[in-house]
Amino acid sequence: MSIRKKHLKNIKRIVVKVGSSTLTHESGLMNINQIEKLVRQISDLHNQGMEVVLVTSGAVAAGVGRLGLKSKPKTIPEKQAAAAVGQGILMHMYEKIFSEYGKVAAQILITKDDMSHRTRFLNARNTFFALFEQGVIPIVNENDAIIVDEIKFGDNDTLSAIVSSLIEADLLILLSDIEGLYDSNPRTNPNAVLIHEVEEITEEIEKCAGGAGTSLGTGGMATKISAARIATTAGVSMVIVNGANNNIIRDVVNEEEVGTFFAPNEHPLQLRKHWLTFNTEINGKVVIDDGAVKALVEEHKSLLPKGVLSVEGFFHQGQIVSIVNTEGIEIGRGITNYDSLEIEQIKSLKTDEIESKLGYKNYDEIVHCNNMVRF
């Protein structure tokens, strides 16, 4: 049995990501026929009892068409204006076609900032599960009308991978304008060979995707490999296929040898630790000694004050800190039980000395092992 068939046997929850290149014509206007085919395939999966989430681009393109612009806007305010106009048009189009197949769709707009806050992350998760219970198909997009670079995912490949981990999906399907991952750039090398299955994302696999500045690298295959790392680390299978091919989603679910399949990790990160690894913003650093490195990495223990050498940055209790060794290499990150000023006072102390130093002791640990991920 192939790796693909092994992992696609009993899938129940699927995330489908579609990009602007699949949804629009070369003119920049919406490809109605392509959208209709996409909705039909998703509706058919839903009829089979599967829970499906659609992560879609296209808001800016829809806005450009409605506003009659001759080219895609270049400034952030212009893009946000086009997205504000286009998001409603895009949703109306999806709702209209989904309703023809008897389906109810719901719009969810997400920013990176939403996913980095634990409470909002869990609220979003609860919203998805409530929609699944009602038989609704969530349609997700980044909130392009209000976001700036600081809170952007940057691409919907990454967004779809984060959503896949959020809802603990079985499969992520990336609909692209290329057949899958090749061993070299097929647009410049006619002898490039399609890679059908990837068991592990190695440095060699990353090189196949191309670096920044190549035709495949910027906003292309490199972001898809990054998405694959996020998804597979959460235990989600992923496949890259050409979205223009007829019935391509059905072919993937039917275990056909299409595109490039990425196998999920055999030992995926728990949801909380996956969130710590991929969704959080670092608020400061805690530098630890060699003894603490060994205790954390080899013995999977909590971080105690005794192993702390210094603190960098200003942060509050409950925020995310990076844990680094004396050479500045990050060995983990976690949720801190003390703020930076408190840690500065209790560093290098034994746990039974914390109260005498601070006048109180809320925790023995600076970062508990259950609230930590190690690299």
Residues making up the annotated binding site for ATP are 17, 176-177, 218-224
First to last CA, the chain: 32
Q: Which two three-digit tokens encode residue 268?
A: 């995926």
| CA-based torsion, 155, 157, 158, 159: positive or negative | positive
* Residues making up the binding site: 17, 57, 144, 156, 176-177, 218-224
Angle at 114 between CA 261 and CA 221, to 5 degrees: 30
Residue with tokens 């399907």: 173
| Sheet with 320-324: strands ordered across | 308-312, 285-288, 320-324, 330-335, 372-374
- The span from the CA of 316 to the CA of 336, in Å, is 8
* Residues making up the binding site for substrate: 57, 144, 156
Q: What is the DSSP letter of 184?
A: S
Exposed/middle/buried for 360, CB within 10 Å: 0-12, 13-18, 19+? exposed
Exposed/middle/buried for 193, CB within 10 Å: 0-12, 13-18, 19+? exposed
- The span from the CA of 111 to the CA of 158, in Å, is 11
- The span from the CA of 245 to the CA of 336, in Å, is 49
Neighbour tally for 211: CB within 10 Å: 11
Residue 305 near residue 358 (C-beta atoms within 8 A): no
